[in-house]
Amino acid sequence: MTSLRNETSTEIRFPAGFRWGAATAAYQIEGAAAEGGRGPSIWDTFCRTPGKVLNGENGDIAVDHYHRFADDIALMADLGLTAYRFSISWPRVQPAGAGRANEEGLDFYRRLVDALLAAGIEPWPTLYHWDLPQPLEDAGGWPERETAHRFADYADLVHAALGDRVRNWTTVNEPWCAAFLGYASGEHAPGRIDPAGSLRAAHHLLLGHGLAVEAMRARTPDNGFGAAVNLYAVSPATGDPADVDAARRIDGLQNRLFLDPLLLGRYPEDVLADTGPYGFAPSDADLAVIGRPIDHLGINYYSRHTVAGTPGEAAQTASSPFSTQSPWVGSDHVRFVPAGRPVTGMGWEIDASGLHEILTRLRREYPSVPLYITENGAGYDEVLDESGTVRDAARIAYLDGHLRACHEAITEGVPLRGYFTWSLLDNFEWAWGYSKRFGLVHVDYATQRRVPKDSARWYAGVIGRGGLPGRGQRAGHGEGTGQP
Ligand code: FCB
């Protein structure tokens, strides 16, 4: 038994100082696409390409956070958040992706950060959440090495402006998505189908991370720097060797391709072999930059992959309805199979035990680094009910189960220091447009009216208590995550 668990009340208490947050991203919430000197990003272009985003929607207005940030911070304060993860729009700061900073863009983030600090909420910015300035894509995008250097320059400009008041920085968000959905399957911006280029993109996103940390750390060695990766638990559908091999491959591309260079300074040999035909040959010098110690690792966790596959079978498996191409470069024979668990409105299987599995695996297989859950949440197609609110019991159950998984990992010695739920507000869900809602707070997109859902009140209670009530039995939405 550990000191984190109060046996008499069976309360699930998180350690003192645990950060309780919520997360958003610039393109998904800010709007004001043509204001403040902002230039176009690949998502502006992608949204305007017919057939790429459901209903042809875009982030031009989104939830108008650019103008409503003060109200949104008041909502955060009502929830009792102690930290807020947001992203900085590169094309607001550098409209052309290079050169001097657009001060009007930086000013928005100065105001945002100052208002957060005034509300007692720690700002936790991410420098790249997928909105590459379009001119950099026109010059070749992430498959080009130059983009990593441009990213480090941009990070340095932002850090020069905010480094005195922001303590913790995240460089890139989910490089897997940016590289493989952006450049292999084409279901995200910039929508290219170029498997060899997508591997280079993954490498340059990591290199950009390393170079950016180097530049920022030189200015404020005491700030904390890290990256946020999207990790999945991965299981073979059966014990058949072909399925076991499929699981190794998907774990390799999804998890180890990012964790190994960041935390061990090398790429996994088996993934290099699987992707051999695409000529992916990163240099040791780059790996030295990528593998420099970081201060924290952000984990975005949503679900588990269950996979099957016989190499040589016809390629298929797009990972969403938005592309027929596979994002799994070199392993596109792998099939993703339902394992029968309940799913969210995204169709993603709910499996909190997978989060526990990932957290304990990190402790076992990688050097110790403070961990944060930088995203975790559930999306549904929700409407306000007659009482004018959203009774989102399913989201509450999802968050509850995953927080219990986090707590269990902490009691086992995993250095998990904070949790940011995705998302504070309903917002623009990429290729799904506005059809999927992940917010604790409902947004009426016609009026921009914000209404906290039941989950917002529930999360405020969790934060206020510093944990969860004990429960005699599991909620039945994720195995192995309840009390031991
Ligand atoms: C993650 C993204 C985030 C959000 C959630 C649902 O992959 O980082 O922007 O869309 O999924």
Encode pLDDT of 302-359 as tens digits: 999 999 998 666 555 545 788 889 999 999 999 999 999 999 999 999 999 999 999 9
Ligand 1 atom closest to the CA of 177, numbered from 1 = 7
Looking up tokens 């394992």 gives 339
Q: For the segment 199-211, what is each residue's pLDDT rounded down to a tens digit?
A: 999 999 999 999 9
Amino acid 323: pLDDT: 85
- Ligand 1 center to residue 23 CA distance, Å? 10
Q: For the segment 83-101, what is each residue's pLDDT rounded down to a tens digit?
A: 999 999 999 999 999 999 9
% of the chain at pLDDT higher than 70? 93
Query: Both tokens of residue 436?
Result: 């999927």
Considering all CA atoms of the chain, what is the largest pairwise distance in Å, rounded to the nearest integer?
62
pLDDT band at residue 175 under the 50/70/90 scheme: very high
Q: Are 329 and 273 in contact (CB under 8 A)?
A: no
Mean pLDDT of the region 145-158: 98
Ligand 1 lined by 427 (C-beta under 6 Å):
no
Higher per-residue confidence, 134 vs 5? 134
Q: How many CA atoms lie within 13 A of 342 on its CB side?
A: 13
Query: Ligand 1: which of 176, 180, 300 to mutate, judged by most atoms within 8 Å of the beta carbon?
Result: 300
Give the DSSP per-residue string, 97-122.
Answer: SSSS--HHHHHHHHHHHHHHHHTT-E
In 3D space, the residue among 145, 146, 143, 201 whose CA is nearest the CA of residue 175 turns out to be 201
- State the catalytic residue, choosing from 57, 122, 137, 174: 174
- The yes-or-no verdict on residue 130 having pLDDT over 70 is yes
Is 382 in the active site?
no
- The yes-or-no verdict on residue 42 having pLDDT over 70 is yes
In 3D space, the residue among 219, 88, 105, 92 whose CA is nearest the CA of residue 164 turns out to be 219
Higher per-residue confidence, 231 vs 11? 231
Beta strands (DSSP E) in 129-204 are 168-173
Q: Average model confidence (pLDDT) for the chain?
A: 94
Higher per-residue confidence, 174 vs 312? 174
- Ligand 1 center to residue 375 CA distance, Å? 8
- Ligand 1 center to residue 89 CA distance, Å? 16
Structural domains in the chain, sorted by start: 12-473 (3.20.20.80)
Dihedral angle of Cα 425, 11, 405, 459, to the nearest 10 degrees: 0
Amino acid 313: pLDDT: 64
- The yes-or-no verdict on residue 473 having pLDDT over 70 is no
- Ligand 1 center to residue 434 CA distance, Å? 13
Is 57 in the active site?
no
pLDDT band at residue 260 under the 50/70/90 scheme: very high
pLDDT band at residue 398 under the 50/70/90 scheme: very high
Question: Can you list the alpha helix ranges (DSSP code H) found in 260-379?
Answer: 269-274, 284-290, 352-365
pLDDT band at residue 9 under the 50/70/90 scheme: low
- State the catalytic residue, choosing from 57, 357, 375, 429: 375
Instruction: State the Cα–Cα distance between residues 395 and 388, nearest whole angstrom.
Output: 18
- The yes-or-no verdict on residue 242 having pLDDT over 50 is yes
- The yes-or-no verdict on residue 479 having pLDDT over 50 is no
